[in-house]
Copies of this chain bind each other. A is one copy, B any other.
C-alpha cells in the first residue's frame, strides 16, 4: 500500500498530481487545436498552487465564481479574470478596486446592474459579457429575447467604462446527458442558440461567444463557432462526471480518504468517518439509488478502481454509510481506509480547504 495511507488519521482529500496535470494538458491542447481561447474556471480547485500548473500549460486568463475568488487570484499574479456570476452590485467597491488592478470581466443581465456598476467603476473599465440562458434556466437573458439582449448591449455600449465583449452561457443541460452523443447533442443545441442570438444582434457590432461546461468541453470533438472555453470541473472530475461519461475513473484526480469506524455486515454496510461536512450533500442518482460517491480502496500507486456495486448511501454531519458487496465488506476492518470519489468535487474542495498529494505535499486553497 502507498506510504501516504500510513499517515492518515482522519478524512483527508488526496490529490493525484499526475492526473491533474494530465487533465489540464489535455484540455489546454484541445482548446489550442480548436483555435478557442482557454479561460479555465478555477472554482473547482480554488488553489494558487494548482493554478501554477495551468500557467505551465500556457494559461494566462481565468474564470472564477465569486469576487472573493477574484481577489485571491489577483493577489497571486493573475491579471485577466472573468467573474462568471451575475455581477453583485453590493460588492461594487471591491469590483472597482479589481478593475483598477487587472483586466476584469463581468456578467450582466439587467440595465439596473449595468448602471450601478458604471457608476461604481469610475475611471476603471471592465469587460462586459451578457449572460445568456440557452436552456438551463438558472439565470441570464433568454436566448430568444432579441429585444432585451439588444437593449442591454446598446446600454453597455453607451457606457464608457463597460467594454462590451460578447455573449456568455453555461450549458448546464449537458449535466443531464449520458454519454458522448447525448452530451454533444445538448451542447450543440446550446451553441446553436447563442450563435443565433449573436447573428441576430449583428447590428450592435462584433460579439464573442463564451461557453464552458466540463461534459461537452471534454467529450465533443467539434466545439462549434465559439471564441472562449471556460470548463472547471475537468481538472479533477468526480463521480457525477463518471456517471455522465465525461471521464474514466483514472481521470478522477481527488479522493477523500476516510477511516472505517464500524461494520454492519448484516445489512451490507460499513460506517466511515467522513460526512456532509467533508463531502457535501451533493449526490448522483443511479436508477432509484442515491449515491454520494463511488468507493475505492488504497493501493500501491494511489487508489483502486471503484468497487463494483459499492457506493456511499447516506451522509450525516460526520458519518458516511457505505453499501458494499459481502466479499468486499468481509475484507474491511475497523481502522482501515477507503477512498471516496466525491459526487461533486468543487463542493468537497470548498469543505476540505486543502489537499495532500500522493507524495505527501500539502496544497492550500483560498478557504484555509
Chain A residues in the interface with B (C-beta under 8 A): 8-10, 43, 65-68, 85-91, 93-94, 109-110, 112-113, 116, 137-140, 172, 259, 261-264, 267, 271, 273, 276-277, 280-282, 314, 316-319, 321, 333-335, 346-347, 350-351
Contacts and interface: CB of A to CB of B under 8 A. Distances in A.
Given A314-B138, A334-B112, A90 B347 contact: no
Contacts of A116: 334-335
A90 B139 contact: no
A291 to B, nearest CB: 14
Nearest to A275: B65
A335 B90 contact: yes
Contacts of A94: 9
Contact of A85 (B85, B89, B264, B319): B319
7 contacts: A9-B91, A10-B88, A43-B317, A89-B335, A110-B334, A112-B335, A281-B281
Contact of A139 (B10, B66, B68, B264): B264
Most chain-B CB neighbours within 10 Å: which of A43, A65, A109, A261? A261
A318 B86 CA distance: 10
Contacts of A263: 110
Contact of A281 (B172, B280, B317, B334): B280
Kindly report how many copies of this chain are found in the complex they form together. 2
Given A281-B281, A351-B350, A138 B316 contact: yes
Of all A-B residue pairs in the complex, the 10 with the closest CB atoms, nearest first, are A86-B261, A281-B281, A9-B90, A139-B271, A90-B259, A89-B335, A139-B262, A277-B350, A86-B262, A65-B318
Contacts of A280: 276, 280-281
Summarize A's interface: helix, strand, loop or mixed. Answer: mixed
B321 A271 contact: no
Contact of A109 (B85, B262, B282): B262
A338 B264 CA distance: 44
Given A86-B262, A112-B334, A138-B271, A317 B65 contact: yes
A317 B334 contact: no
Contact of A276 (B140, B282, B333): B282
Given A10-B68, A88-B273, A346 B317 contact: yes
Contacts of A317: 43, 65, 346-347, 350
Most chain-B CB neighbours within 10 Å: which of A67, A140, A263, A276? A276
A99 B367 CA distance: 31
A138 to B, nearest CB: 6
A67 B93 CA distance: 41
A66 B318 contact: yes
Contacts of A273: 66, 85-86, 88
A86 B281 CA distance: 21
Contacts of A10: 66-68, 88, 90-91
A276 B66 CA distance: 13
Nearest to A64: B318
A66 B278 CA distance: 12
B271 A86 contact: yes
B90 A8 contact: yes
